[in-house]
Amino acid sequence: TCSNGVSTVSQIKVNSIVPAGGLPTGSSGGIIQVKAVTKTDTFSTSNNSYTDITGLSVTITPSSNASKIFITGHMTGMGTSNTRQGFRLMRDSTPICRGDANGNRDRNFGGIYSSDNDNTTQTVSVCHLDDPGTTSAVTYKIQTINSNNTDAVYVNRSNSWTDSSSHNTGTSNITVMEVSG
């Protein structure tokens, strides 16, 4: 409030703020936009091929071809006894942020091994800076797989999931941030 009792409001809108001395070599500018989704319900699959996790995708439209997209994700899961659950990050239909090809080994960013019918969940996280090189809408999503048998693997719940305080439910999420190039 000004001294005369009149309230004023000001706005400054910019695409990015760059220091007067410029950005250090190899760095980018600030965050332009953020999109996120948190999955609170459960999901299961016994598929031996990567399957989209329902409700765990987010679409962003970069404002510049030079923009990078910083992705973070956190998955909660568990499987039945002796299952190996992998998680994969996708840009539209292209897998990104995964290990190098090495024989028949599964290429993903992380996984969970369930040694027995446990009542607790495990977590896997991912951080990746992507360069989509487009101003068209891009969808980032998480997929999962049961890589060693046909038993079920779960997202946001444990295997032993009776109505008991010792059996937990959880959340999973994905956040994407456009970083100016």
Cα–Cα dist 158/170, whole Å:
9
CB burial of residue 19 (10 Å; 0-12, 13-18, 19+): exposed
pLDDT digit string, tens, across residues 140-180: 999 998 877 778 888 998 887 778 777 778 999 999 999 98
Given a contact cutoff of 8 angstroms between Cβ atoms, the answer to whether 50 and 107 are in contact is no
Cα–Cα dist 156/145, whole Å:
15
Given a contact cutoff of 8 angstroms between Cβ atoms, the answer to whether 138 and 59 are in contact is yes
Given a contact cutoff of 8 angstroms between Cβ atoms, the answer to whether 98 and 107 are in contact is yes
pLDDT digit string, tens, across residues 69-120: 999 999 998 887 778 888 999 999 999 988 888 888 777 888 887 776 667 7
Cα–Cα dist 100/16, whole Å:
35
- Residue 143: which of 104, 103, 83, 85 has the closest Cα? 85
Residue 10 above 80 pLDDT? no
Look at residue 145 in the predicted model and tell me its pLDDT. 87
pLDDT digit string, tens, across residues 12-54: 766 666 666 666 666 666 889 999 999 999 999 988 889 999 9
Cα–Cα dist 89/108, whole Å:
8
Given a contact cutoff of 8 angstroms between Cβ atoms, the answer to whether 153 and 79 are in contact is yes
Residue whose entry in the numeric block shows the structure tokens 């990746």: 128
